[in-house]
Every structure is written in structure tokens, then in C-alpha cells.
Structure 1
């Protein structure tokens, strides 16, 4: 039988320990970035967003509207800042709109 650890942890701490011990942070960041984009950009922009992909510290967003891509490129740094604030850490260093 496995030994039982009698130290009491709340579920939040237990999940954080599990994520860090199993190196799952990068995978969770990819999912969280998609959620943060959908939340911050709203339905108007999400309608034209076809793909979101996080590779290392670069966020690639594919848009179906070239006019929207041009508009969003003007606020590139602000979008990065908002997404990082929503995620609670600096995950994104560069944003590439396709």
C-alpha cells in the first residue's frame, strides 16, 4: 500500500504543486492565452479570429479580415500588455497578426 501523506493542503495548492512538478505550465499557458484573447477582444474580433497559437513567447493570431489585422497592429503592444495582465504573468513577448 502507498504511504499516505498527512500534511493537509487546500485544493488550489495541491493543483499548483501538481502542475509545477509535472511541467504542465506551458500547455496550460497555451489554453489560457486562447481564453484571455476571447475574453479581452470580445465577439466582434473573435468572429474574425480563425487561429491562435502560442509558440515559446510569441503569440500568432490568424485573422480573416485584413482591415481588422491592420487596425489591431496599431495597438500591438497594448494587446500584449492586456493579455499578460489577464494571465497574471509575462507569457507573451511578441504578437504576430496573420
Structure 2
């Protein structure tokens, strides 16, 4: 049986400890990337976004508009920088627009 720790932890510290202990960081990053994309890109881009997937530091974004895909391809580095700033750590290294 695990020993009880008598020190008082804040809820956020306890939650961070739980996430680290159970190695849930990568799964949470996938969810947080989707939320960050929706927040930063706005409704105009989100209406044409059909799928967002994070694999090994590469963000794959499936778009239903070829015109939008071409426009976003010019600002890939800026998109990576904005998303990483929103997430608070460097999760994304590259963006692939499909």
C-alpha cells in the first residue's frame, strides 16, 4: 500500500504530479494543440479545418479549402511560433497542411 504524503499540496500541483507520474503529457498536448489552433486561427479558418493531429512534434492539419491551405503555407513558421507560445512550451516543430 502506498504511503500517504502528509505535506499539503495545492490542487494544481497535485494534478501536475498526477500527469507526470502517469505520463499523460503527450495526450494532453494533443488536446491542447487542438484548443490552441481553434483559439488562434478563429472561426474563418476553423470552418475549413476538418482534422488536426499531432505526431512526433509535427502538426498535421487537414483543410477543405485549397486556397486557404496555400495562404497558410506562407506563414508556417509564424503558426508554429504562435501555437508554441500559446501552449507555453515547444511542442510543435513543423506544420503540414493537407
Settle same-fold status: TM greater than 0.5.
yes
Structure 1: 5+ residue runs without aligned partners?
none
Q: Does 1:58 align with 2:58?
A: yes
> CA shift at 1:4, angstroms?
3.0
Instruction: Tell me the TM-score normalized by structure 1.
Output: 0.96
The alignment covers a number of residue pairs equal to 98
**Of 34-43 and 3-12, the range deviating more from structure 2:** 3-12
| Deviations 1:14-70, CA, capped at 9 Å, x for gaps | 000110111000000000000000000000000000000000100000000000000
Instruction: Tell me the TM-score normalized by structure 2.
Output: 0.96
Structure 2: 5+ residue runs without aligned partners?
none
Compute the RMSD of aligned alpha carbons.
1.1
